[in-house]
Structure 1
Protein backbone atom coordinates (compact mmCIF):
# COMPACT_ATOMS: atom_id res chain seq x y z
CA UNK A 1 0.00 0.00 0.00
CA UNK A 2 2.82 2.39 0.83
CA UNK A 3 4.37 1.76 -2.60
CA UNK A 4 1.06 2.69 -4.26
CA UNK A 5 0.96 5.97 -2.32
CA UNK A 6 4.53 6.76 -3.35
CA UNK A 7 3.69 5.95 -6.96
CA UNK A 8 0.67 8.30 -6.88
CA UNK A 9 2.75 11.04 -5.23
CA UNK A 10 5.48 10.67 -7.86
CA UNK A 11 2.88 10.86 -10.63
CA UNK A 12 1.36 13.96 -9.05
CA UNK A 13 4.80 15.59 -8.82
CA UNK A 14 5.61 14.84 -12.47
CA UNK A 15 2.23 16.28 -13.51
CA UNK A 16 2.90 19.41 -11.48
CA UNK A 17 6.37 19.72 -12.98
CA UNK A 18 4.94 19.43 -16.49
CA UNK A 19 2.28 22.09 -15.83
CA UNK A 20 4.90 24.32 -14.15
CA UNK A 21 7.16 23.93 -17.19
CA UNK A 22 4.40 24.77 -19.69
CA UNK A 23 3.41 27.89 -17.75
CA UNK A 24 7.07 28.78 -17.25
CA UNK A 25 7.89 28.51 -20.95
CA UNK A 26 4.93 30.70 -21.83
CA UNK A 27 5.73 33.38 -19.24
CA UNK A 28 9.51 33.28 -19.59
CA UNK A 29 9.64 33.30 -23.39
CA UNK A 30 7.78 36.59 -23.43
CA UNK A 31 9.74 37.92 -20.48
CA UNK A 32 13.09 36.99 -22.03
CA UNK A 33 12.15 38.69 -25.31
CA UNK A 34 11.28 41.84 -23.34
CA UNK A 35 14.59 41.50 -21.47
CA UNK A 36 16.52 41.33 -24.74
CA UNK A 37 14.59 44.27 -26.19
CA UNK A 38 15.06 46.50 -23.14
CA UNK A 39 18.77 45.72 -22.81
CA UNK A 40 19.20 46.27 -26.55
CA UNK A 41 17.55 49.68 -26.07
CA UNK A 42 20.18 50.46 -23.43
CA UNK A 43 18.52 49.60 -20.12
CA UNK A 44 21.04 47.99 -17.74
CA UNK A 45 20.61 44.21 -17.34
CA UNK A 46 20.02 44.21 -13.57
CA UNK A 47 17.57 47.12 -13.82
CA UNK A 48 15.72 45.26 -16.57
CA UNK A 49 15.45 42.15 -14.37
CA UNK A 50 14.28 44.37 -11.51
CA UNK A 51 11.51 45.79 -13.69
CA UNK A 52 10.37 42.55 -15.32
CA UNK A 53 10.73 40.10 -12.44
CA UNK A 54 7.78 41.37 -10.36
CA UNK A 55 5.52 41.37 -13.42
CA UNK A 56 6.36 37.76 -14.22
CA UNK A 57 5.98 36.72 -10.58
CA UNK A 58 2.55 38.30 -10.33
CA UNK A 59 1.38 36.66 -13.55
CA UNK A 60 2.71 33.30 -12.40
CA UNK A 61 1.00 33.35 -9.01
CA UNK A 62 -2.52 32.70 -10.23
CA UNK A 63 -1.45 30.20 -12.86
CA UNK A 64 0.69 28.17 -10.51
CA UNK A 65 -1.75 28.39 -7.62
CA UNK A 66 -4.67 27.05 -9.65
CA UNK A 67 -3.26 25.14 -12.61
CA UNK A 68 0.02 23.70 -11.36
CA UNK A 69 -0.63 22.90 -7.72
CA UNK A 70 -4.47 23.01 -7.47
CA UNK A 71 -4.03 24.84 -4.20
CA UNK A 72 -7.15 25.63 -2.18
CA UNK A 73 -5.60 27.04 0.98
CA UNK A 74 -5.47 30.62 2.12
CA UNK A 75 -4.85 33.14 -0.66
CA UNK A 76 -3.22 35.54 1.79
CA UNK A 77 -0.88 32.97 3.39
CA UNK A 78 0.13 31.45 0.06
CA UNK A 79 0.61 34.96 -1.33
CA UNK A 80 3.03 35.85 1.47
CA UNK A 81 4.98 32.61 1.02
CA UNK A 82 4.97 33.17 -2.74
CA UNK A 83 6.40 36.67 -2.30
CA UNK A 84 9.13 35.29 -0.01
CA UNK A 85 10.02 32.53 -2.48
CA UNK A 86 10.19 35.02 -5.34
CA UNK A 87 12.28 37.43 -3.28
CA UNK A 88 14.79 34.62 -2.88
CA UNK A 89 14.49 33.75 -6.59
CA UNK A 90 15.08 37.40 -7.51
CA UNK A 91 18.16 37.54 -5.26
CA UNK A 92 19.46 34.34 -6.86
CA UNK A 93 18.90 35.84 -10.33
CA UNK A 94 20.78 39.04 -9.45
CA UNK A 95 23.60 37.05 -7.84
CA UNK A 96 24.02 34.96 -11.00
CA UNK A 97 24.23 38.13 -13.11
CA UNK A 98 26.64 39.78 -10.67
CA UNK A 99 28.99 36.80 -10.51
CA UNK A 100 28.91 35.46 -14.05
CA UNK A 101 28.33 38.63 -16.11
CA UNK A 102 29.87 41.38 -13.97
CA UNK A 103 32.77 39.54 -12.33
CA UNK A 104 33.59 36.74 -14.76
CA UNK A 105 32.70 38.64 -17.93
CA UNK A 106 30.25 36.21 -19.53
CA UNK A 107 27.69 37.85 -21.84
CA UNK A 108 24.68 38.88 -19.75
CA UNK A 109 22.30 37.51 -22.40
CA UNK A 110 23.64 33.98 -21.90
CA UNK A 111 23.85 34.30 -18.15
CA UNK A 112 20.22 35.40 -18.00
CA UNK A 113 19.14 32.56 -20.31
CA UNK A 114 20.73 30.03 -17.92
CA UNK A 115 19.47 31.91 -14.85
CA UNK A 116 15.88 31.42 -16.03
CA UNK A 117 16.30 27.64 -15.64
CA UNK A 118 18.27 27.81 -12.38
CA UNK A 119 15.71 30.09 -10.75
CA UNK A 120 12.83 28.02 -12.15
CA UNK A 121 14.24 24.87 -10.54
CA UNK A 122 14.59 26.63 -7.22
CA UNK A 123 11.06 28.05 -7.47
CA UNK A 124 9.42 24.72 -8.33
CA UNK A 125 10.85 23.15 -5.18
CA UNK A 126 9.95 26.21 -3.09
CA UNK A 127 6.40 26.28 -4.46
CA UNK A 128 5.82 22.56 -3.96
CA UNK A 129 7.33 22.29 -0.48
CA UNK A 130 6.65 25.73 0.99
CA UNK A 131 4.23 27.95 -0.92
CA UNK A 132 1.50 25.64 -2.19
CA UNK A 133 1.86 22.69 0.13
CA UNK A 134 -1.38 20.80 0.57
CA UNK A 135 -3.90 22.50 2.83
CA UNK A 136 -4.19 19.28 4.87
CA UNK A 137 -0.44 19.46 5.57
CA UNK A 138 -0.86 23.16 6.46
CA UNK A 139 -3.72 22.40 8.85
CA UNK A 140 -1.63 19.83 10.75
CA UNK A 141 1.28 22.24 11.34
Structure 2
Protein backbone atom coordinates (compact mmCIF):
# COMPACT_ATOMS: atom_id res chain seq x y z
CA UNK A 1 0.00 0.00 0.00
CA UNK A 2 2.87 2.36 0.77
CA UNK A 3 4.31 1.75 -2.69
CA UNK A 4 1.02 2.82 -4.26
CA UNK A 5 0.97 5.96 -2.11
CA UNK A 6 4.57 6.69 -3.07
CA UNK A 7 3.73 6.31 -6.78
CA UNK A 8 0.62 8.51 -6.50
CA UNK A 9 2.62 11.25 -4.77
CA UNK A 10 5.48 11.17 -7.25
CA UNK A 11 6.09 14.03 -9.64
CA UNK A 12 5.89 11.67 -12.63
CA UNK A 13 2.44 10.42 -11.61
CA UNK A 14 1.15 13.96 -11.03
CA UNK A 15 2.49 15.01 -14.43
CA UNK A 16 0.85 12.01 -16.07
CA UNK A 17 -2.50 12.92 -14.52
CA UNK A 18 -2.15 16.55 -15.66
CA UNK A 19 -1.05 15.31 -19.09
CA UNK A 20 -4.20 13.18 -19.30
CA UNK A 21 -6.44 16.08 -18.20
CA UNK A 22 -4.80 18.42 -20.71
CA UNK A 23 -5.12 15.64 -23.25
CA UNK A 24 -8.86 15.48 -22.60
CA UNK A 25 -9.08 19.19 -23.35
CA UNK A 26 -7.04 18.59 -26.50
CA UNK A 27 -9.39 15.75 -27.44
CA UNK A 28 -12.33 18.12 -27.18
CA UNK A 29 -10.55 20.47 -29.57
CA UNK A 30 -9.41 17.61 -31.85
CA UNK A 31 -12.68 15.69 -31.96
CA UNK A 32 -14.80 18.85 -32.12
CA UNK A 33 -12.97 20.05 -35.22
CA UNK A 34 -12.86 16.51 -36.66
CA UNK A 35 -16.61 16.01 -36.25
CA UNK A 36 -17.31 19.47 -37.67
CA UNK A 37 -15.12 18.84 -40.72
CA UNK A 38 -16.45 15.32 -41.39
CA UNK A 39 -20.00 16.61 -40.99
CA UNK A 40 -19.22 18.93 -43.90
CA UNK A 41 -17.94 15.90 -45.85
CA UNK A 42 -14.22 16.61 -45.53
CA UNK A 43 -12.25 13.39 -46.08
CA UNK A 44 -11.63 11.61 -42.74
CA UNK A 45 -7.85 11.53 -43.18
CA UNK A 46 -7.62 15.24 -44.06
CA UNK A 47 -10.00 16.14 -41.25
CA UNK A 48 -7.80 14.14 -38.87
CA UNK A 49 -4.63 15.97 -39.93
CA UNK A 50 -6.27 19.37 -39.43
CA UNK A 51 -8.00 18.54 -36.14
CA UNK A 52 -4.97 16.76 -34.67
CA UNK A 53 -2.76 19.75 -35.46
CA UNK A 54 -5.16 22.06 -33.62
CA UNK A 55 -5.17 19.70 -30.64
CA UNK A 56 -1.36 19.51 -30.64
CA UNK A 57 -1.01 23.30 -30.52
CA UNK A 58 -3.59 23.55 -27.73
CA UNK A 59 -1.89 20.84 -25.68
CA UNK A 60 1.60 22.29 -26.10
CA UNK A 61 0.51 25.60 -24.61
CA UNK A 62 -1.20 23.94 -21.63
CA UNK A 63 1.60 21.41 -21.01
CA UNK A 64 4.30 24.07 -21.17
CA UNK A 65 2.71 26.40 -18.66
CA UNK A 66 0.41 24.29 -16.48
CA UNK A 67 2.04 20.86 -16.36
CA UNK A 68 5.77 20.65 -17.00
CA UNK A 69 6.26 24.36 -16.24
CA UNK A 70 9.09 24.98 -18.63
CA UNK A 71 9.46 28.42 -20.11
CA UNK A 72 12.86 28.34 -21.74
CA UNK A 73 13.55 27.46 -25.38
CA UNK A 74 9.83 27.50 -26.18
CA UNK A 75 10.34 27.53 -29.95
CA UNK A 76 12.60 24.46 -29.82
CA UNK A 77 10.22 22.75 -27.40
CA UNK A 78 7.27 23.54 -29.66
CA UNK A 79 9.07 22.11 -32.70
CA UNK A 80 9.87 18.93 -30.75
CA UNK A 81 6.31 18.64 -29.40
CA UNK A 82 4.83 19.34 -32.81
CA UNK A 83 7.03 16.72 -34.50
CA UNK A 84 6.13 14.11 -31.88
CA UNK A 85 2.49 15.05 -32.34
CA UNK A 86 2.72 14.82 -36.10
CA UNK A 87 4.34 11.39 -35.91
CA UNK A 88 1.38 10.21 -33.89
CA UNK A 89 -0.96 12.06 -36.26
CA UNK A 90 0.52 9.95 -39.05
CA UNK A 91 -0.19 6.89 -36.88
CA UNK A 92 -3.86 7.87 -36.38
CA UNK A 93 -4.25 8.85 -40.03
CA UNK A 94 -2.83 5.53 -41.25
CA UNK A 95 -5.07 3.75 -38.74
CA UNK A 96 -8.09 5.61 -40.13
CA UNK A 97 -7.09 4.78 -43.69
CA UNK A 98 -6.53 1.08 -43.00
CA UNK A 99 -9.27 0.33 -40.49
CA UNK A 100 -12.00 2.82 -41.47
CA UNK A 101 -11.50 3.53 -45.17
CA UNK A 102 -10.25 0.13 -46.31
CA UNK A 103 -11.75 -2.30 -43.77
CA UNK A 104 -14.97 -0.42 -43.01
CA UNK A 105 -14.71 0.03 -39.24
CA UNK A 106 -16.51 3.12 -37.84
CA UNK A 107 -14.13 6.05 -38.20
CA UNK A 108 -14.86 7.55 -34.76
CA UNK A 109 -14.06 4.27 -32.99
CA UNK A 110 -10.83 3.90 -34.96
CA UNK A 111 -9.87 7.49 -34.12
CA UNK A 112 -10.58 6.95 -30.40
CA UNK A 113 -8.48 3.75 -30.17
CA UNK A 114 -5.61 5.15 -32.26
CA UNK A 115 -5.63 8.41 -30.28
CA UNK A 116 -5.45 6.53 -26.97
CA UNK A 117 -2.41 4.55 -28.12
CA UNK A 118 -0.79 7.70 -29.55
CA UNK A 119 -1.32 9.58 -26.27
CA UNK A 120 0.64 7.01 -24.27
CA UNK A 121 3.49 7.17 -26.77
CA UNK A 122 3.43 10.98 -26.76
CA UNK A 123 3.59 11.24 -22.96
CA UNK A 124 6.76 9.17 -22.73
CA UNK A 125 8.53 10.97 -25.57
CA UNK A 126 7.46 14.45 -24.47
CA UNK A 127 8.35 13.83 -20.82
CA UNK A 128 11.82 12.55 -21.70
CA UNK A 129 12.69 14.87 -24.59
CA UNK A 130 10.41 17.87 -25.15
CA UNK A 131 9.78 18.98 -21.57
CA UNK A 132 13.04 17.86 -20.00
CA UNK A 133 13.99 20.62 -17.61
CA UNK A 134 17.22 22.45 -18.15
CA UNK A 135 17.98 23.21 -14.50
CA UNK A 136 20.09 26.24 -15.19
CA UNK A 137 17.51 28.14 -17.23
CA UNK A 138 14.00 27.05 -16.22
CA UNK A 139 11.71 28.66 -13.67
CA UNK A 140 10.24 26.61 -10.81
Provide the TM-score with structure 2 as the length reference.
0.82
- Which stretch of the first structure deviates more once superposed, 71-80 or 87-96? 71-80
The answer to which structure, 1 or 2, has the higher relative contact order (CA under 8 A, 6+ apart) is 1
- Partners of 1:29 and 1:132 in 2: how far apart? 23
1:49-64 superposed matches below 5 A: 49-64=48-63
C-alpha deviations, 1:100-137, integer Å up to 9, x for none? Answer: 11232211111012122112111111110111112139
Unaligned runs of 5+ in 1: 1-6
Distance 1:14 1:137, change over 3 A: farther
CA 1:106/1:85 → structure 2, altered by over 3 Å: closer, same or farther?
A: same
In the alignment, the residues of structure 1 paired with residue 57 and residue 101 of structure 2 have an alpha-carbon distance, to the nearest angstrom, of: 28
The alignment yields a C-alpha RMSD, in angstroms, of 2.3
Asked if 1:46 corresponds to 2:45, the answer is yes
Aligned length: 132
Q: Which runs of 5+ in 2 are unaligned?
A: 1-5
Q: How much has 1:72 moved relative to structure 2?
A: 3.5
CA–CA separation in structure 2 for the residues paired with 1:52 and 1:137: 36
Q: Partner residue of 2:112? A: 113
CA distance in 1 between partners of 2:69 and 2:50 (Å): 29
The answer to whether the 8 A contact 1:19-1:68 is kept is: yes
8 A contact 1:20–1:64 mirrored in 2: yes
Contact 1:65 1:71 in 2 (8 A): yes
Residue 134 of structure 1 is matched in structure 2 by 133
Normalized per residue, the structure richer in helix is 1
- When normalised by structure 1's length, the TM-score is 0.81
